Amino acid sequence: MLAVNYSTIRNNLKDYCDKVTDEYETVIITRKGERNIVMMSLDEYNELTKAAKNAAYLDMIDKSMAQLAKGEGKVHELIEVD
């Protein structure tokens, strides 16, 4: 992980973009007033987003299993389609 200031990234944007995409580097861009941002590849961003969605889904399943274990499940009648 690299940390560079705004002026440096602005003056060397192509080089840092290449590091992010080719070397899978993450770059923290420091700005005044602690308003920092992170630059990462789209592939890495997509992986993080997918992992977060999967974690939320697994959490929902865990909560459902806990409800069933406490006897809080509900029985629904099946709707049959002709």
Q: Residues 5-17: what's their mean pLDDT? A: 95
Task: Please indicate, yes or no, whether residues 36 and 61 belong to a single structural domain of this protein.
Answer: no
Has residue 82 got a pLDDT over 80? no
CATH of the domain at 27: 3.40.1620.10
9 and 27 co-located in one domain:
yes
Residue 68 CA to residue 73 CA, distance in Å, equals: 5
Range(s) of the domain holding residue 1:
1-40
49 occurs within a structural domain: yes
* pTM for this prediction: 0.67
Q: How confident is the model at residue 76 (pLDDT cuts 50, 70, 90)?
A: confident
Q: How many domains does the chain divide into?
A: 2
Is 48 a member of any domain?
yes
Contact 2, 27 (CB under 8 A): yes
On whether residue 77 sits in a domain, the answer given is: no
Strand (E) or helix (H) holding 56: helix 42-69
Same domain, 55 and 27: no
CB 16 within 8 A of CB 27: yes
